[in-house]
Structure 1
Amino acid sequence: MTLPPLSTSAFSVLRTPVLVLGLVSMLVLAGCGSSSTRRVSYETEEFDSTTTHTRTYTATEAQTCEAARRALLSQGYMISAANPDLVTGRKSFQPASEVHVEVEFRVVCAREGGKAGKRNTVAFATALQDRYGIKKVNNSASVGVGAFGSLSLPFAGSDDAMVKVASETLTDELFYDRFFALLDRFLEGQGGEEPEVPSVAPEAPRPSAPPAPAAPALTFPVKPVPNPG
């Protein structure tokens, strides 16, 4: 049985999906090739500053982190962790109607050797900023096209969703200077170092009281008894 030859219109209908699939494959391969050769530059990370994120205080780790916790609370941060050597807090900002920013502040308190009789603590502060934007997500519906599968067609409906668009560590020195100045104020309110416990000398034994003099013995005169006869 001989099949009738396909018409030009039918051949073009069959060829169109094949061409579309080939074009999509080429675009995907091109995107993969460009992403594999992309390099991230860290030239701005010079590791030359040791004062932007750190300060040294004459206090214990617990006192320093407690002052950091109060400093963050005074500025509206929600504290998520508060330990003797670690404090973390988060605060939300709305710089624009369609932009949402969250800052997570982390303070680590580490003990450092100091002079005899004094305890020094290094406070390491880092703030991470996450930026979110509103993204419209279009809904789509699938329409069957017989032997060629299904075709997704967008329609008017859409949903708004908050999507993270950026995340970076804040490196502004003035930002950290203001925080450390506030931490110092709260640390002074705690009295700085832990008060030293005064050494108490053992109490000397009290001298024993001299013995009371013995009471004089009472004597009575004895009259001689006359001898009869």
Structure 2
Amino acid sequence: MNRSRRRSPRPLAPFSLLLLAAALLSGCARMPESMPGLDRNLAFTPNDFDGASIHTRHIGASQERTCEAARRALLSQGYLVHTATSELVAGRKYYQPHTDVHYEVEMRIVCAPEGLGDTRTSAFASALQDRYVIKKINNSASLGVGAIGSVSLPVSATDDTLVKVGSETVTDAQFYERFFQIFERYVGVLPDLRPATAHPVPLQEREAVDRGTELPPAE
């Protein structure tokens, strides 16, 4: 009588395991870059303090005149200005590029005098962009019907709310360049807002005005 022998499966050779691992790695490498949930750029290094600032302009005007020009520049572009002093101007503007996506941009300009005399001012501009999406929230409640007893009927409703999903400082050089072009245009047309310097009147002229007499012609 011949007995059939069962052969146990052979373990995979090391070379076969290497081929299988290589195939899996190549499959992962072909994943699309837009695959959701894949955080590819885990390291983040801000490109700050490189010496080439796009946020600063040096203006040959007083501090008050500089901030007033910044206020008018924001107003001319539809910004809602909520802060306007001789040192700081800030305003917001809202965008809705898609039905369920909203953006809020807040622009801030700080006016800092340079040296003495209030004849030159540094203007520092920065913009913060916040991104919001619409999220649906289900609200459930119970409605009691007293006429037929203590029966509760579930009532559900859906509300839309804006949820903040991101916040970032605007770093587009053209954005700031366009702002400063409009800003410098207003600096050039604004009158000097500083109060006029009072020149002292000579004593002889003051006494003549008080007496109502005419002064002798100047030689």
With the shorter chain as reference, the TM-score category is 0.5 to 0.7
Cα distance in 2 for partners of 1:49, 1:87 equals: 25
Which residue of the partner structure matches residue 181 of structure 1?
A: 181
- Give 1:174's aligned amino acid: Q
User: SS at 1:93's partner residue?
Assistant: strand
> Unaligned 5+ residue runs, structure 2?
1-41, 142-154, 206-214
Equivalent residue for 1:10? none
Is this contact kept in 2: 1:110–1:123, CA < 8 A?
A: yes
How far 1:160 moved relative to its partner? Answer: 1.9
* 1:59 counterpart SS class: coil
**Size of the alignment, in residue pairs?**
156
The TM-score normalised by the length of structure 2 is: 0.61
Aligned to 1:26: none
Q: TM-score, normalised by structure 1?
A: 0.58
In structure 2, the partner of 1:3 is none
Provide the residue aligned with 2:28 in structure 1. none
Could you tell me which residue of structure 1 aligns to residue 55 of structure 2?
A: 53
Q: Kindly report the root-mean-square deviation, in angstroms, between the aligned alpha carbons of the 2 structures.
A: 3.3
Q: How high is the sequence identity, in percent, across the aligned residues?
A: 50
* Residue pair 1:135, 1:163 contacting (<8 A) in 2 also: yes
Structure 2 CA distance for aligned equivalents of residues 46 and 175 of structure 1: 17
Distance of aligned partners of 1:42 and 1:196 in 2 relative to their CA distance in 1, 3 Å threshold: farther
Contact 2:60 2:119 in 1 (8 A): yes
Q: CA deviation at 1:159?
A: 2.6
Residue in 2 that maps onto 1:96: 98
Between structure 1 and structure 2, the one with the greater Rg is 1
Q: Does 1:131 align with 2:124?
A: no
Name structure 1 gaps, 5 residues minimum: 1-39, 142-154, 208-229
Code of the aligned partner of 1:59 = A
Which position in structure 1 is the counterpart of 2:169? 169
Going from structure 1 to structure 2, the CA distance change for 1:186 and 1:140 (only over 3 Å counts) comes to same
